[in-house]
Amino acid sequence: MIDSSMIKGIIVPVVTPMHDDGSINTEELKRQTERLIQAGVHGVFAFGTNGEGYILSSEEKRIALKAVIEAAGGRVPVYAGTGCISTKETVEQSLMAEEMGADVLSIITPSFAAASQNELIAHYRKVASAVHLPIVLYNIPARTGNKLTPDTVAHLAEVENIVGAKDSSGDFANILSYISASHRVNPDFRILSGNDRLIIWTLIAGGCGGIAGCANVYPKTIASIYSLFLEGRIDEAIAANESIGSFRECFRYGNPNTIVKKAVELLGYGVGPCRAPFNGLSDEAVEAIRKVLEENRRKGME
């Protein structure tokens, strides 16, 4: 029997620190994992979108996952982003993560080539049949070109070890549709917001939390959204969620992953830049990030 109760709260797709030569800085990755756990997050996600999973080799993913699992030490669930373009490679990566001791698989839709909903259903069913870990579907159509419809999510919610879905479309109506469609089939199906600004609204609507890239920068503030919600302090949870708005405004300067990693570096951590070619930021962008970080530091955000 698959236990999906661990899938809740604020899960952080931890940035993947890199040395100057581009190799993975495992010691800094462990430090970042520890920093996030100490701040109160409820899960750590290795090589998600903010962890640059899209540009890491299979061996690098193995190295990163090992570091995160060792640093977490069983204190919070460790998620692994094992989705690839092909079903074959997704199965291989998922088996690797299961073998290494990951707790949850986050599987992004295949990308580049257009996939029908029937093809996506077949893809996820094949992967689910190959592993025993709980699987969270990952919908981010702006990046992949393929969207999981609410009907498809409901269909896949019938599979025993497909236990949740993360929606990063930015469309709150889609999150609401995921909740209503999946819960008709499986009331325990877990819906997570992949858009940081929608975390509290997803919780209020019946979701279970969020996978939050900005929590690399403000882990304590974003983790508090969930704890405040559980305590019934909804207005304070809304305020905590809205407090990251000024930082998210910096996303207009470039790729959000690049902005987040640069911000972590500007906080004084040796995470290095994103891997080329996704590492270019103007001087104006860096100054804007620096300014927002300082403003929010004075407000007590961390």
Task: Say if residue 183's pLDDT is above 80.
Answer: yes
CA 261/CA 263 separation, integer angstroms: 5
Residue 8 CB contacts under 8 Å (≥ 6 apart), including other chains: 42, 190, 208, 209, 226
Segment 20-40, tens digit of pLDDT: 999 999 999 999 999 999 999
Nearest alpha carbon to residue 130 among 95, 97, 84: 95
Bridge partner list, 167: 139, 193
> Is 278's pLDDT higher than 80?
yes
Per-residue pLDDT band for 202 (boundaries 50, 70, 90) equals very high
**Is 166 assigned a catalytic role?**
yes
What are the Cα distances from residue 110, in Å, to 54, 103, 137?
Answer: 11, 22, 11
pLDDT confidence of 189, banded at 50, 70, 90? Answer: very high
Residue of higher predicted confidence among 164 and 3: 164
**What are the backbone angles phi and psi of residue 5, rounded to the nearest 5°?**
-65, -20
Q: Mean pLDDT across the chain, nearest whole number?
A: 97
Tokens of 95: 């088996």
Q: For position 2, what pLDDT does the model report?
A: 80
The closest alpha carbon to 195, from 221, 165, 169, belongs to 169
Residue whose token pair is 């609507």: 205
| All structural domains of the chain | 9-234 (3.20.20.70)
pLDDT at 102 over 90: yes
pLDDT of residue 66: 98
Of the residues 166, 218, 226, 253, only one is catalytic, namely 166
Long-range contacts of 234-240 (CB under 8 A, 24+ apart): 234/200, 234/204, 237/200, 237/203, 238/200, 240/200
Alpha-carbon torsion angle 274, 278, 282, 284, nearest 10: -70
Q: What is the mean pLDDT of residues 269-298?
A: 96
* Res 39: pLDDT: 98
Of 54, 79, 124, 138, which is the active-site residue? Answer: 138
Q: Average pLDDT, stretch 77-98?
A: 98
Distance between CA atoms of residues 5 and 208, nearest Å:
10
Contact 12, 41 (CB under 8 A): yes
pLDDT of residue 13 exceeding 90, the answer is yes
Does residue 3 register a pLDDT over 90?
no
Active site residue 126: no
Over range 41-62, report the average pLDDT. 96
Predicted confidence at residue 50, as pLDDT, reads 95
Q: How far is residue 283's CA from residue 257's CA, in Å, rounded to a whole number?
A: 17
**What tens digit of pLDDT does each residue of 213-223 get?**
999 999 999 99
Placement of tokens 């959204």 in the chain:
225
The pLDDT value given to residue 4: 87
Closest C-alpha to 247, from 210, 209, 217, 283: 217
**Distance between CA atoms of 81 and 67, rounded to whole angstroms?**
15
Determine contact, residues 102/80, Cβ cutoff 8 Å. yes
> Please, which residues have CB within 8 angstroms of residue 2's CB and are 6 or more apart in sequence?
134, 160, 161, 163
Residue 49 has pLDDT above 70, yes or no: yes
The three-class DSSP label of residue 139 is strand
**What is residue 1's predicted lDDT score, i.e. its pLDDT?**
66
